[in-house]
Structure 1
Amino acid sequence: MGQVFQFKQFAVDQNNVPMRINTDGVLLGAQAEAESVNRILDIGTGTGVIALMLAQRFEDAEVWGVEIDDLAAKTARMNFDQSPFTNRMHLLHSDIFHWKNDLQFDLIVSNPPFYINSLHNPDERKKIAKHTDDTFFIGMLEFAAKHLTEQGSFQLIVPVELEDFLKTEAEKLGLVWDGQVNIRSFADSESFRCIIRFARQSSEQKTEEFIIYKGRGIYSDAYNHLLQPFFLAF
């Protein structure tokens, strides 16, 4: 039985992919925003779900997905090819740090590995997908600093514990914190993730709150509204 997740406008095959569709990814895909979006990059695209969500939202944008894992890259390419956005989708099987190009992007996103200095998963592919170190984030920020358009935005979803580190490293590279969305499971729980935004020049610098559940097993109205354009159940 294939592991295929059916969205309203596209389907995502998750076979042979170490990191399957998760809440972090769909929240980023549904919330990432920038001005005048003509070219988008998803770093570590995995199944390609974030790239596909952004292709649905930004109907005129060219969307690139970069993936280091060979089988995941093949799966993402298949998902791209079978989507209604195929003519605007590009898949590169590469380490993002070895991709030499002069492209400039209006929106760069990532749902990156974020287990730092922790016990590594014994599965080699899952280890690469889930674990990283400080230099990986610095490398992504360096890439964004080089490849963002003047009005472009770099947005990633990470544990809140990484917020200060990312702000400090971004500032060293000439990127400024441009606001974030703090994500909580429930209204009375602590934030456990944030979608943090960086840009060449700051705009509103808003900090917003997003709550996933209004009760045990019951999604919040905000979650339902946000994912309604994508999920068949909403």
Structure 2
Amino acid sequence: MYEAARQHLSTVRDCLRFAVSRFNEAGLFYGHGTDNAFDEAVYLLLATLKLPLDKLEPFLEARLLPSEVDKLVEVIRKRADEHIPTAYLTKEAWLGEYKFYVDERTIVPRSFIAELLFNEALEPWIEHAELVHRALDLCTGSGCLAILLADAFPDAQVDAVDLSPDALDVAEINVADYHLGDRIDLLDGDLFEPVTGEVYDLIISNPPYVDAPSMDELPEEYRHEPDMALGSGEDGLDITRKLIDNASAFLNPRGVLVVEIGHNRDVLEAAYPQLPFVWLDTASGDGFVFLLTREMLADAGL
């Protein structure tokens, strides 16, 4: 099939049609930026050809060089047959208008916290951006949220921590790309361990939060990502508990903790009935990211 494609496909339109057909036949899972075969194919082809991602129409009838056809057929094959996430094939991922380098050493960037930073949704608890002088991103992965933090709070110095040296190597690429090496410190270690004795105005985290039953049922696409970036114990809250139990010691007065937990709201609220979780609104609902202040944690004895 793929050898015949290399011989007979000649235009971007040809390759697009072939990609959509293969993706539909392969029963792919879309969870890394698109939700259907057509959009996935458009992005993969345009990114691979280094064409503008928002301009498909002018290039549909463009005839491709044999080397370009070979390249497109190969990425289509890898996406369809191996279920490799498109971000790993293109070596890039997007959060809003921000582009990040990504590869198999780190999870593909995706976070409701990014949406909240774009929309200035922390304003009721952080009245002015200039009030944030120190910020911490735990489980930083590719460094994407640390970069968004630095952009959203231009007066802040940002510490970004991850347990994976490989992920931090990817984060270093992104921090350099955004020329933020003087404002973002990448730290290797387990959660708060590398920042012992430090205090912050804002702490964010998009930690692993997939529970054990869900880990067993993950689509093949997610199995290309590092396991340590996904699973977090039987109920998905092992790391979240550590964040909640230790955060107050690292927060300034009126400091804020923001954590993404996926679909674990009910389990979390049952585990901490004494905490007045503030659930932040996102495009997908209000149960995926919580906010707590240092005072809320202290009043609960944490």
* TM-score in terms of structure 2 length: 0.55
C-alpha displacement at 1:98, in angstroms?
Answer: 3.5
* Between 57-66 and 26-35, the greater mean CA deviation after superposition: 26-35
Once superposed, what is the RMSD of the aligned Cα atoms?
3.0
Amino acid at match of 1:66: V
The structure that is helix-richer by fraction is 2
- Given the alignment of the two structures, is residue 197 of structure 1 paired with residue 291 of structure 2, yes or no? yes
Alignment map for 1:1-234 (pairs within 5 Å): 2-5=90-93, 11-30=99-118, 31=120, 33=122, 34-35=126-127, 36-99=131-194, 101-118=196-213, 119-120=215-216, 126-133=226-233, 134-163=237-266, 165-166=268-269, 168-169=271-272, 171=274, 176-177=275-276, 179-185=278-284, 191=285, 193-201=287-295
C-alpha displacement at 1:101, in angstroms?
Answer: 1.3
The structure that is strand-richer by fraction is 1
- SS of the aligned residue for 1:141 comes to helix
Unaligned ranges ≥5, structure 2: 1-47, 49-89, 297-302
Kept in 2: contact 1:170–1:198 (CA 8 A): no
Return the alpha-carbon distance in structure 1 between the equivalents of residues 295 and 174 of structure 2. 35
Amino acid at match of 1:138: R
Identity of aligned residues (%): 20
Kept in 2: contact 1:141–1:170 (CA 8 A): no
Kept in 2: contact 1:56–1:85 (CA 8 A): no
Kept in 1: contact 2:106–2:142 (CA 8 A): no
Question: Which residue pairs with 1:230 in the alignment?
Answer: none
Kept in 2: contact 1:154–1:198 (CA 8 A): yes
Return the alpha-carbon distance in structure 2 between the equivalents of residues 100 and 201 of structure 1. 21
Higher relative contact order (CA 8 A, sep 6+): 1
* TM-score in terms of structure 1 length: 0.70
- SS of the aligned residue for 1:159 comes to coil
- SS of the aligned residue for 1:201 comes to helix
C-alpha displacement at 1:55, in angstroms?
Answer: 0.4
Larger Rg: 2
Amino acid at match of 2:228: I
Return the alpha-carbon distance in structure 1 between the equivalents of residues 103 and 231 of structure 2. 21
Judged with a 3 Å threshold, the aligned counterparts in structure 2 of structure 1 residues 164 and 152 are, in CA distance, closer, same or farther, namely: farther
Judged with a 3 Å threshold, the aligned counterparts in structure 2 of structure 1 residues 11 and 165 are, in CA distance, closer, same or farther, namely: closer
Return the alpha-carbon distance in structure 2 between the equivalents of residues 84 and 170 of structure 1. 43
C-alpha displacement at 1:89, in angstroms?
Answer: 0.6
